[in-house]
Amino acid sequence: MDRSHHPIEPWQLRETELDLDRLEQAESLFSLSNGHIGLRGNLDEGEPFGIPGTYLNSFYESRPLPYAEAGYGYPESGQTLVDVTNGKLIRLLVDDSPFDVRYGDLHSHERVLDFRSGILQREADWTSPGGKRIKVRSRRLVSLTQRAVVAIEYVVEPVDQPTRFVVQSELVANETQPRLSDDPRVAAVLENPLEPVSQHGDREDVVLVHRTRKSEQLMAAGMAHEVEADTRVKTDVDVQENWARSTVICELKPGQSLRVVKYVAYGWSSLRSETAIGDQVAAALAGAQFSGWDGLVQQQREFLDDFWDAADVEVHGHAELQQAVRFALFHVLQAGARAERRAIPSKGLTGAGYDGHTFWDTEGFVLPTLTYTMPDAAADALRWRHSILPLAKERASVLGLRGAAFPWRTIRGQECSGYWPAGTAAFHINADIAEAVTRYYCATSDDKFMTEVGIELLVETARLWMSLGHHDRDGQWHLPGVTGPDEYSAVADDNVFTNLMAARNLRAAARYAAKQPAKARELGVDAEEEAAWRDAAAAVYVPYDAELGVHPQSAGFTRYAEWDFEASRGKYPLMLHAPYFELYRKQVVKQADLMLATYWCGDAFTAEEKARNFDYYERLTVRDSSLSACVQAVAAAEVGHLDLAFDYAYEAALIDLLDLHSNSGDGLHMASLAGAWMAMVAGFGGLRERGGMLSFDPALPDGLSQLAFSVRWRGVRLRVEAHHREVRYAVHDGPDAQITFLHAGEEITVTADAPVTRPLTKRVPLMPRPSQPPGREPMSALGQHPAVESEQGQRSKARANAGAGPTKDAARTSAAQDV
Give residue 189's pLDDT band: very low, low, confident or very high (50, 70, 90): low
Domain ranges for the chain? 3-63+76-288, 312-684+764-810
Cα(818)–Cα(580) distance, rounded to whole angstroms? 14
Backbone angles phi, psi at 526, to 5 degrees: -120, 175
Nearest Cα to 635, choosing from 669, 684, 573? 684
Contacts by 734-739, CB closer than 8 A, 24 or more apart:
739/694, 739/713, 739/714
Cα(746)–Cα(766) distance, rounded to whole angstroms? 23
Which residues, other chains included, contact 728 with Cβ-Cβ below 8 Å and sequence gap of 6+?
720, 721, 755, 756, 757
Average pLDDT over residues 588-617: 98
25-48: pLDDT as tens digits: 999 999 999 999 999 999 999 999
* Partner residues linked to 750 by β-bridges: 739
| Amino acid 2: pLDDT | 56
Helix (H, G, I), strand (E, B) or coil at 473: coil
Separation of first and last alpha carbons in the chain: 34
CATH of 312-684+764-810, one of 1.50.10.10, 3.40.50.12280, 3.40.50.10800, 3.30.497.10: 1.50.10.10
Give residue 599's pLDDT band: very low, low, confident or very high (50, 70, 90): very high
Are 633 and 645 spatial neighbours (Cβ–Cβ below 8 Å)? yes
| Amino acid 185: pLDDT | 45
Are 481 and 421 spatial neighbours (Cβ–Cβ below 8 Å)? no
One-letter amino acid of 363: E
Average pLDDT over residues 505-529: 97
Residue 675 above 70 pLDDT? yes
Q: Show the CA angle centred on residue 288, arms to residues 283 and 294, nearest 5°.
A: 170
* Partner residues linked to 740 by β-bridges: 749
Nearest Cα to 765, choosing from 656, 638, 665, 593? 638
User: Angle 319-336/670-678 helices, nearest 10 degrees?
Assistant: 120
What is the β-pairing status of strands 738-743 and 693-696?
parallel
Average pLDDT over residues 415-431: 93
Cα(123)–Cα(806) distance, rounded to whole angstroms? 42
Average pLDDT over residues 732-745: 91
Among 221-225, 706-710, 806-810, name the one with the lowest average pLDDT: 806-810
792-816: pLDDT as tens digits: 333 333 333 333 334 444 432 222 2
Are 156 and 258 spatial neighbours (Cβ–Cβ below 8 Å)? yes
Average pLDDT over residues 300-328: 97
Our answer to whether residue 547 is catalytic in this structure is no
Q: What residues are designated binding site?
A: 360-361, 590-591
| Amino acid 71: pLDDT | 80
Mean pLDDT score across all residues of the chain: 93
Helix (H, G, I), strand (E, B) or coil at 319: helix
Backbone angles phi, psi at 300, to 5 degrees: -65, -45
| Amino acid 69: pLDDT | 75
Task: Give the strand order in the sheet containing 693-696.
Answer: 688-690, 693-696, 738-743, 746-751
Q: Where are the alpha helices (H) located in 256-388, listed in sequence order?
A: 274-311, 319-336, 361, 367-373, 375-387
Positive/negative CA dihedral, 581, 413, 327, 121:
positive
Residue 106 above 80 pLDDT? yes
| Amino acid 190: pLDDT | 74
Nearest Cα to 225, choosing from 270, 175, 267, 261? 261
What does each C-alpha distance from 334 to 143, 337, 341, 654, 656 come to in angstroms? 10, 6, 15, 18, 16
Per cent of the chain over pLDDT 90 is 89
| Amino acid 187: pLDDT | 52
Give residue 180's pLDDT band: very low, low, confident or very high (50, 70, 90): low
331-362: pLDDT as tens digits: 999 999 999 999 999 999 999 999 999 999 99
DSSP code for 156: E
387-420: pLDDT as tens digits: 999 999 999 999 999 999 999 999 999 999 988 8
**Residues counted in the chain:** 819
Cβ atoms within 10 Å of 569's Cβ, excluding its own: 13
Average pLDDT over residues 557-575: 95
Residue 4 above 90 pLDDT? no
Positive/negative CA dihedral, 574, 578, 579, 583:
negative
User: Angle 455-468/375-387 helices, nearest 10 degrees?
Assistant: 50
Question: How would DSSP label each residue in 391-434?
Answer: HHHHHHHHTT-SS----SSBSSSS-----STTTTT-THHHHHHH
Are 238 and 247 spatial neighbours (Cβ–Cβ below 8 Å)? yes
One-letter amino acid of 294: D
Which residues, other chains included, contact 158 with Cβ-Cβ below 8 Å and sequence gap of 6+?
132, 133, 134, 252, 253, 254, 256
Cα(585)–Cα(490) distance, rounded to whole angstroms? 9
User: Angle 455-468/389-398 helices, nearest 10 degrees?
Assistant: 10
| Amino acid 392: pLDDT | 98
Among 16-20, 84-88, 706-710, 793-797, name the one with the lowest average pLDDT: 793-797
What is the β-pairing status of strands 726-731 and 716-722?
antiparallel
Which H or E element spans position 643?
A: helix 642-654
Could you say which of 487, 530, 689, 721 is catalytic? 487
Q: What residues are designated binding site for substrate?
A: 360-361, 590-591
Residue 158 or 787, more confident = 158
Average pLDDT over residues 228-234: 95
Average pLDDT over residues 142-157: 98
| Secondary structure E strands in 646-787 | 688-690, 693-696, 706-713, 716-722, 726-731, 738-743, 746-751, 756-759
What does each C-alpha distance from 429 to 361, 404, 675 come to in angstroms? 9, 11, 18
pTM reported for the whole predicted model: 0.94
630-653: pLDDT as tens digits: 999 999 999 999 999 999 999 999
The CATH code for residues 3-63+76-288 is: 2.70.98.40
Residue 790 or 120, more confident = 120
Cα(523)–Cα(159) distance, rounded to whole angstroms? 71
Residue 181 above 70 pLDDT? no
